[in-house]
A and B are shown apart, each in its own frame.
Chain A
Amino acid sequence: MHQFLLYSFSGLSTSAIYAIAAAGLVLTYTTTGTFNFAHGATGMVAAFAYWQMRFGWHWPAPVALLVVLLVLAPAFGALVEIGIMRRLGGTPETTRLVVTISLLVALLGGALWIWDPNKPYPVRFLYQGHNIALLGVHVAWNDVITLMVAAAVAIGLRLFLYRARIGVAMRAAVDDRSLTSLTGARPDRASMLAWAIGASLAALSGVLIAPTLQLSALPLTLLIVNAYAAAMIGRLRSLPLTFVGALILGMTNEYVPDYLKQWHVGGLYLQGMFLSIPIIVLFVVLLVIPNPRLRGHTTARVREVVPMPLRSGAMVFGVAVIAGAAMVASVVGKADLATLGTVFGIGMVGLSMVPLIGFAGQISLCQLTFAGIGAVCMAHAGTGGDPLGLVVAIVVTGLVGALIALPALRLSGIYLALATAAFAVIMDNWIFAFPAFKVFGHSFDIFQTGSLTIPRVKFFEGQRANVEVMAIGFVLCAWVVIAVRRSNFGSRLLALKDSPAACATLGLNITTTKLAVFTLSAAMAGFGGALYGGSLQVASSQQFQLTAGLPILLVVVIAGIGTVGGGLAAGIIYGSPILGNFFPHLLELPTVIFGTAGIGMARTPNGFILEFKERWEPVWKRPAFAVGIFAALGLVFAARAAHLITNWPYAIASLLVLAVGPLVATARRQQPAPQSVPLEWVGITRPFSADDLVALDAGVGLPRLDRRAPA
């Protein structure tokens, strides 16, 4: 009984922290309709900020607390709303989701950059070490304080939402934003406040949770992510249910490991599971929440483009990639050869996202996990470089993909993203850390010792041959993606993304269609992972974990999730240490850059590749300009290679050439004839011009006015 009480008090304290974090998440979601993936990261950064003030700069604790919770966090939340979220109205759910994931990645990268992860950051609370006797049990003062804070948050939120004018407006904004603004309330202000309070609550949970573990960016973020399960039990709507969810979550998290350990159940095999209990709860909750109705069309303000590649284009792309890889491989040194393999490995993982996310609109955050499974398959079935390992990788990851997809199929949007993220975390914490076990005499070792030796396909064992194999593997995947886009199946996927409801009423079995694309993309990631693992030769489970996969998704989306170029861009930008080589002391810079670039998604929702293509079209039409631009780039590169200039001038000069070149070409080229648009659309897709007015007049049979005459 004594032990039970001990576990209970500890569980209650955890529950309280989860409740605070989850309440912030729910508040933001209900008021603005945006699920903030960066909620956990916000809390993590707040905890670090608190450490900095309290222990770095030795501020008094109350001052540091006040500054973090009541100034910095709300200001950050409000800034995010004004600067980013407000501009995302009318964009597809994918975009909004990717933007908050970008924020998460940027915050993580920023924290690792500012606070060196190799140094310890001990946080001590005011009453650390002080206990109080309750029901015969010694309870830490911290736990009691945490509980009281959670209670205060619950009461405060309740009063605020039902009594305060702006609180009522926030609840109204949930139901109908435009209607709310008609009643004189200001939904923008309500959203801003919701983000501010949400960030503040995230910060509060971060500061409360910090003393329980060494301050460390990633674990701290994931710890707060655990609270998402509580929010999901509240179905992202109900605060009381969210508090109940937090209670269930905190208690399970405490009782299950404590009692299982005490009874010696499962031994080492369950060790990893204890870490993932909240995530397992999240996964289960997602699978059992009532089936959402089939979604119809969402009116998007930004027009999405998923280009239709030509067969000839696919051939040229493939040949160019393979030839380019061979050329680069023949000149670079040994260290860079390994990097080149990684470029294509990451590229294949990026490609696997294109059919699933780009075509079908199903967000999966566990593609890199599938790649990890592929690598493990290769390690076991491809002993000695047996190509059979690749086949096994494809089959096994395809099956696992289907298995994960089956229960997750009825989910979409944010729910699917969360379910796949939960799967990735469960794999990271539990399965990948599994101790070796024997089945039918074969010893299965996953990443038990932290790393795994993965063979390369035989006949191709040299570094250069490996690069070629990787390039060919990448091109094969790219061709599969292009073939899908060009097929009837591809059209069905695009249709599915636009309107699942319409697809169903045409007789399309949505479940099998989603299952097919999920399986395909999992298998592709597994194939890529098997090759990628071989290219790395020794891989660790960290290389396949959720947070390593998120930046890949970001780069693919930023480059163009609807194109094979997006996959290649992911490989080049994320897989190769270009930025790191040039700016060695800014190791976390790329991560921060991806994060920040992703935040700018609202402006170019179709990715920079398409934008780039459009902008460069005039250049290709005048070969002299193209040659000139490349010559200029070559010159700049030569200057850098000869150490005539340093990195910053090099980067700035290259960017200048790339930015100015197309502008000059466009200016020198005649304006093309305006495209004919239906009369109803004139002035909607672009501003009115004088010619439009003439055309409109002619269209409705009015006499032509002299435009030069004053109105």
Chain B
Amino acid sequence: MPLLDVRDVTVRFGGQVALTGVSVEAGEGRITGLIGPNGAGKTTLFNVITGLQAPDRGRVLLGEDDITGLPPYKRARRGVARTFQRLELFGLLTVRENLAVAADIRRGWSRRSGRTDDEPPSDTAERLIMEIGLVDVADVRADALPTGQARLVELGRALATRPRLLLLDEPASGQDEHETARFADLLRRLAAAGIGILLVEHDMALVMDVCATIHVLDFGTILASGTPAEIRADQSVLAAYLGTGAKR
């Protein structure tokens, strides 16, 4: 059974259809890619999975549980975390405080549900700062960070909730080649630790490199799903998104 199972989701904004019967799966300990041109509905799908957008039709399953009707915070407590394409950092707080407040929020709800977890939030923040490589900017206010680093802080903040499923919305945009390579390693490590990752990204090299499965979204529908090799060879994907003759 997949960790995340999105079944036949449809979303309309007024007369505009953003998603039509979209079904997507993501497995535990695997990186699943979600690609497609701008406006294809990728972020809308993330909003549906995290509960920020109610679907007009369809269901979202996390493991065996139907979480379609749950509010965002309850989904987070079941292990769904995300980053945002349009950054949603806590700009008034420093990088360290951003991570600590997330860890503190997590400690609050995990204690209430009976789990014992005694790492103090400040320790979690410190650990993540080392792991992700934010030592230089740990005491900088989040709204003063360049985009690339800000995206890493968003990732760290999501990790501070110790998710089972991690949704990353264009995490590598704004990073240079060197940073992207390090980022790919980080993703692999996270997956190896058992986290299921759903990755929205425009950097095709990165997606093809790290993903086990890829879903292609175009105009609100799934155009193709498969391994990187299958997607590369898919004629409709080439025509709609990757472009013919493009070698990336």
Q: Which residues of A contact B (CB under 8 A)?
A: 293-294, 296-297, 303-306, 488, 491-492, 494-495, 497-499, 501-510, 677-678, 680-681
Contacts and interface: CB of A to CB of B under 8 A. Distances in A.
B100 interface: yes
Given A306-B92, A499-B90, A507 B146 contact: no
Nearest to B174: A680
Contacts of A678: 144-146
Contacts of A305: 92
Given A304-B92, A506-B105, A507-B106, A296 B86 contact: yes
Contacts of B81: 505-506
Select the residue from B52, B74, B75 with max chain A CB neighbours within 10 A. Answer: B52
B89 A507 contact: no
B109 A507 contact: yes
B217 interface: no
Contact of A505 (B76, B101, B146): B76
A492 B157 CA distance: 13
A495 B90 contact: yes
B104 interface: yes
A170 B52 CA distance: 31
Given A296-B88, A494-B90, A497-B92, A303 B109 contact: no
A488 B157 CA distance: 15
Interface size class of B (residues with CB under 8 A): 35 or more
A294 B101 CA distance: 19
B72 A491 contact: no
Given A495-B93, A502-B90, A488 B146 contact: no
Contacts of A303: 91, 143
Contacts of A495: 90, 92-93, 98, 101
Contacts of A491: 93, 97, 100-101, 104
Given A488-B121, A498-B92, A499-B90, A505 B104 contact: no
A375 B155 CA distance: 49
A234 B82 CA distance: 36
A499 B92 CA distance: 10
Given A494-B90, A505-B50, A505-B76, A296 B102 contact: no
Contacts of B89: 297, 498-499, 502
B71 A503 contact: no
Interface of B: 50-53, 71-77, 80-82, 84, 86-93, 97-98, 100-102, 104-106, 109, 121, 143-146, 157-158, 160-161
Contacts of B143: 303
Contacts of B160: 506
Interface centre among A296, A488, A503, A507 (most CB of B within 10 A): A507
Given A491-B104, A678-B146, A506 B91 contact: no
A505 B161 CA distance: 10
A501 B105 contact: no
A296 B109 contact: no
A297 B154 CA distance: 13
B161 A488 contact: no
Contacts of A488: 100-101, 104, 121
Given A498-B89, A502-B88, A502-B89, A681 B144 contact: yes
A305 B93 CA distance: 10
User: 7 nearest interchain CB pairs?
Assistant: A507-B76, A504-B72, A502-B88, A499-B88, A495-B90, A491-B101, A498-B90
A501 B106 CA distance: 16
23 contacts: A294-B72, A297-B88, A491-B93, A492-B101, A492-B105, A497-B92, A498-B89, A498-B91, A498-B92, A501-B84, A501-B88, A503-B105, A504-B72, A505-B52, A506-B73, A506-B76, A506-B157, A506-B158, A507-B74, A507-B105, A680-B146, A681-B144, A681-B146
Nearest to A359: B92
A553 B124 CA distance: 38
A505 B51 CA distance: 8
In this complex, which of A293, A508, A510 has the most chain B Cβ atoms within 10 angstroms of its Cβ? A508
A361 to B, nearest CB: 10
Given A294-B52, A491-B101, A505-B80, 15 more contacts: A296-B88, A297-B86, A304-B92, A492-B101, A492-B105, A494-B93, A498-B88, A502-B88, A502-B157, A505-B50, A505-B81, A505-B82, A506-B160, A508-B105, A509-B109
Nearest to A294: B52
A678 B144 CA distance: 9
A488 B125 CA distance: 13
Given A491-B100, A495-B90, A293 B52 contact: yes
A601 B92 CA distance: 19
Nearest to B87: A297
Given A297-B87, A297-B88, A498-B92, A506 B52 contact: no
Contacts of B102: 506
B52 A501 contact: yes
Contacts of A306: 92
A491 B90 CA distance: 9
Contacts of B158: 505-506
B146 A296 contact: no
A293 to B, nearest CB: 7
A296 B88 CA distance: 7
Nearest to A496: B90
Nearest to B79: A507
Given A296-B86, A492-B104, A510 B73 contact: yes
B17 to A, nearest CB: 18
B71 A504 contact: yes
B49 to A, nearest CB: 10
A578 to B, nearest CB: 33
Contacts of B76: 504-508
A462 B71 CA distance: 55
B139 to A, nearest CB: 12
A503 B52 CA distance: 11
